Structure 1
Amino acid sequence: MTTRLTTYVHDGLTFDVIDEGPIDGDVVVLLHGFPERASSWEQVAARLHAEGYRTLAPDQRGYSPGARPKGRRAYRIDLLVGDVAALVEQAGGRAHVVGHDWGAMVAWSLAIARPDLVRTLTALSVPHPTSFLHAMTRTTQGLKSWYMAAFQLPALPELLAGWRGGPIERWMRTGGMDDAAISRFNRDIVDYGALPGGIAWYRALPFLDRSAETRVTVPTTMVWSDRDLYVGRDSVEGSARFVDAPYELRVLPDVTHWIPTQAPQAAAEAILARVASAGVA
């Protein structure tokens, strides 16, 4: 008999999970980005539940209190992918996988490394990893991603991000976060102790394996918003070259980077369309 998950264990770490929707529904795994947690999917998940889907939204490595290992090497992308693979396996072995921001990077990487676990992929905001890396040196994406280099500095990013009304908060507001989102960030990330772990994902980027497989072989939808301050259209449009399966790009007008909270209806519609395309398991 299927039971609800509140936590799961992998690699000696304990991850918190929000498990909602019809218990016997097809599973959709929702992966949050930075600087947010599983709760960022609340409005999207509600629409998926209404259509009969069960959602699993974990607080990922560095965010769950029981999953905050020390050292930046502990946040390599292959380890982040392993965490999600373990969740999918515990939930039955195959799932529709959705990710936003860093969660999209993990979702892409899971689909590449473990296509046996991924029925469909829906990536919000962040494109295929190789397309993103190409754009970093060939377009203005490198300038848009300046903060990735700044986050390599020790201690200072945490100090600035914890400063109420400080430069990091002002930067996030420029990127589209409103008062409610800033309050959630301060409560759910800074006060919750998840900030160092979240930044550690960036600090592990130098350990990225650029020789790894790049092809995606599962049905994929890429959702991007045209007011995204952090991700340019060039890197998004390049994603199609790396997908050997049905692929769709959806562009949301007049929406900033924070698609799950600012355009939950459009996000849910994109997910539902992609999930429906896979038919019955």
Structure 2
Amino acid sequence: MAPTPPDGDHWTVPDDGRAWDHATAETNGVTLHTVTAGPEDGDLVVLLHGFPEFWYAWHHQIEPLAEAGYRVVAPDLRGYNCSEKPEGVRAYDIDELVADVVGLIDGISRDTAHVVGHDWGGLLAWYVAARGDVVDRLAILNAPHPSAYERALRSSPTQVAKSWYVFFFQLPILPEAAFRARDFRVIEEMLTDTAVRADAFSETDIRYYKTALGRPGALTAAVNYYRAMARRSARRLLTRAGAPELPVERPTLLLWGEQDRALDVSLTEGLDRWVSDLRIERFPDASHWVQFDAPERVTDSLLAHLAGGERTQ
């Protein structure tokens, strides 16, 4: 029996004939909605979206990866869109999120997977890869290594200024109210006003994003990611514990849109301290939404990296 969407009739994005399957996966005590594509015996690729996204963040990449022979799984992270939305900030601690991904991979009966993450999904992917036992090859899109980000918040006034929204998200109620105002107008502005390519996001894309974040409980869950991470940092400060080193020893590709208004390009520097096998590809004419500003180039780079090589220029 096919899984039923939470609203009874659709998974936010209508079925348009593409060979993508909607399913649910039980992992770490929560139920995640997933979109899957590609041969079941193909090497597993897990695509992790960011804020304020959902699985659809990867719609440019799913089909090409599947056609290349990969088994592609793009989940809605816990709290987002059609996935389960546990209550409380603690439910969105990074340890819980890591356990979700590890359990998802294990539930597909795989020992390892290639993991690709953007924004919050990228931050999560760094943590998952630091475990060292479930990630084969890692690809990150505009998401800083957590230790590099904490270092920047301590030493870079520029990055602190760009991270103003992280501090705003710590307030109760107000962030949710700001997002809901004028039919989630801020979501539209976040995407269209900061993307470099004028047509990076269509009106249909914007509607999908608003629908996903407008599901009951989804907005608070999304903001709780930031609240949980801030509380984790506060606990380390109170106990005088240093930032986690999080060494990553898997082959890693970092794709970075240099027109990112929230994350300074300096976050791509000095990463060899934590990442032993790293290649960085910069996109001067792309924003934080690099896979929308340069979808073909991002896809080509991912395919080359996952195959063990470099993108053909």
Tell me whether the two structures share a fold, i.e. TM-score over 0.5. yes
2:182 is the counterpart of 1:164: yes
Over aligned residues, Cα RMSD in angstroms? 2.0
- Per the alignment, residue 222 of structure 2 pairs with 198
* Aligned-partner Cα distance in 2 for 1:50–1:172: 28
Given that 2:81 and 2:212 are in contact with CA atoms closer than 8 Å, whether structure 1 keeps it comes out as no
1:6-25 aligned within 5 A: 6-25=23-42
Q: Identify the match of residue 145 of structure 2 among 123, 128, 140.
A: 128
Partner SS, residue 163 of structure 1: helix
Given that 2:116 and 2:139 are in contact with CA atoms closer than 8 Å, whether structure 1 keeps it comes out as yes
Which has the higher Rg, Structure 1 or Structure 2?
A: 2
Tell me, which stretches of 5 or more residues in structure 1 are unaligned?
none
Q: Greater CA deviation, 9-18 or 25-34?
A: 9-18
Given that 1:43 and 1:264 are in contact with CA atoms closer than 8 Å, whether structure 2 keeps it comes out as yes
Deviation per residue, 1:2-56 (Å, 9 max, x gap) = xx77111123211111111122211100000000001111111111112111100
Q: What code does the residue aligned with 1:235 have?
A: L
Structure-2 change in CA distance of 1:5 and 1:118 (3 Å): farther
1:185-264 aligned within 5 A: 185-191=209-215, 193-205=217-229, 206-208=231-233, 211-244=243-276, 246-264=277-295
Q: What code does the residue aligned with 1:82 have?
A: A
- Per the alignment, residue 93 of structure 2 pairs with 76
1:75-154 aligned within 5 A: 75-91=92-108, 92-113=110-131, 115-139=132-156, 140-154=158-172
Deviation at 1:253, TM superposition (A): 2.2
TM-score, normalisation: structure 1: 0.90
* Aligned-partner Cα distance in 1 for 2:102–2:79: 17
Q: Identify the match of residue 60 of structure 1 among 77, 100, 104.
A: 77
Given that 2:81 and 2:213 are in contact with CA atoms closer than 8 Å, whether structure 1 keeps it comes out as no
Given that 1:38 and 1:58 are in contact with CA atoms closer than 8 Å, whether structure 2 keeps it comes out as yes
Deviation at 1:108, TM superposition (A): 0.4
Given that 1:10 and 1:83 are in contact with CA atoms closer than 8 Å, whether structure 2 keeps it comes out as yes
Structure 1 segments, 4+ long, off by >6 Å, are none
* Aligned-partner Cα distance in 2 for 1:168–1:8: 28
Deviation at 1:239, TM superposition (A): 2.4
Q: What code does the residue aligned with 2:289 have?
A: W
TM-score, normalisation: structure 2: 0.81
- Per the alignment, residue 301 of structure 2 pairs with 270
Structure-2 change in CA distance of 1:167 and 1:35 (3 Å): closer
Structure-2 change in CA distance of 1:168 and 1:260 (3 Å): closer
- Per the alignment, residue 184 of structure 1 pairs with 208
Q: Matched residues, percent identical?
A: 37
* Aligned-partner Cα distance in 2 for 1:40–1:172: 12
Aligned residues: 273
Structure-2 change in CA distance of 1:30 and 1:171 (3 Å): closer
Deviation per residue, 1:164-208 (Å, 9 max, x gap) = 275565455432274534333212212464211111100101214
